[in-house]
Amino acid sequence: MQKIRKGSTIALYALTLGAFAIGMTEFIIMGLLPDVASNLNVSIPSAGLLITGYALAVAFGAPIITIALHKMQRKALLILLMIIFIVGNALAALAPNYEILMVARVVAALTHGSFFGVGSIVAAELVPKEKRAGAIALMFTGLTLANILGVPIGTFLGQAYGWRFTFWVITVVGLAALLGVVMLVPKVKTTQSSLRQELGVLRHPAVHVALLMTVFGFGGVFTAFTYITPILVDITGFTPSSVSYILVLFGVGITIGNIYGGKLADRKLLSSLTWILVLLAVVLAMLSITDQNKLLALITVFILGIAAFGIVPGLQLHMLNTAKEAPNLASSLNIAAFNLGNAFGAYLGGVVIDLEIGGGLQAVPWTASLVTVVGILFTLWGIRQNNKDSSRKKLP
Give the CATH number, domain containing residue 135: 1.20.1250.20
Do 341 and 239 form a contact (C-beta atoms < 8 A)?
no
Q: Are 104 and 42 in a shared domain?
A: yes
As a whole number of angstroms, the longest Cα–Cα distance in the chain is: 70
Across 184-205, average pLDDT: 71
Domain stop point among 157, 190, 223: 190
Beta strand residue intervals within 162-203, DSSP E = none
Confidence label for 4 from pLDDT (cuts 50, 70 and 90): very low
**Amino acid 2: pLDDT:** 37
Q: Are 198 and 147 in a shared domain?
A: no
Q: Are 184 and 201 in a shared domain?
A: no
Number of domains into which the chain is organized: 2
Asked whether the predicted pLDDT for residue 395 surpasses 50, the reply is no
The radius of gyration of the chain from alpha carbons, rounded to an integer in Å, stands at 20
Do 340 and 121 form a contact (C-beta atoms < 8 A)?
no
Alpha-carbon span 108 to 78, nearest angstrom: 14
* Amino acid code (one letter) for 362: Q
* Amino acid code (one letter) for 247: L
Q: Are 179 and 201 in a shared domain?
A: no
Q: Are 136 and 229 in a shared domain?
A: no
Domain stop point among 161, 190, 219: 190
Q: Are 186 and 206 in a shared domain?
A: no
**Quick one: angle between helices 132-145 and 112-125, nearest 10?**
140
Q: Look at 264 and 251; give whichever has higher pLDDT.
A: 264
Alpha-carbon span 141 to 17, nearest angstrom: 9
Confidence label for 32 from pLDDT (cuts 50, 70 and 90): confident
Do 343 and 55 form a contact (C-beta atoms < 8 A)?
yes
* Amino acid code (one letter) for 98: Y
* Amino acid code (one letter) for 120: S
Mind listing the pLDDT tens digit for each residue in 71-107? 788 899 999 999 999 999 999 999 999 999 999 999 9
Q: Are 209 and 240 in a shared domain?
A: yes
Q: Are 198 and 153 in a shared domain?
A: no
Alpha-carbon span 207 to 200, nearest angstrom: 11
3-state secondary structure of 317: helix
Q: Are 165 and 253 in a shared domain?
A: no
Q: Are 89 and 215 in a shared domain?
A: no
User: What is the domain extent for residue 378?
Assistant: 193-396
Q: Are 261 and 117 in a shared domain?
A: no
Domain stop point among 190, 216, 241: 190
Q: Are 181 and 234 in a shared domain?
A: no
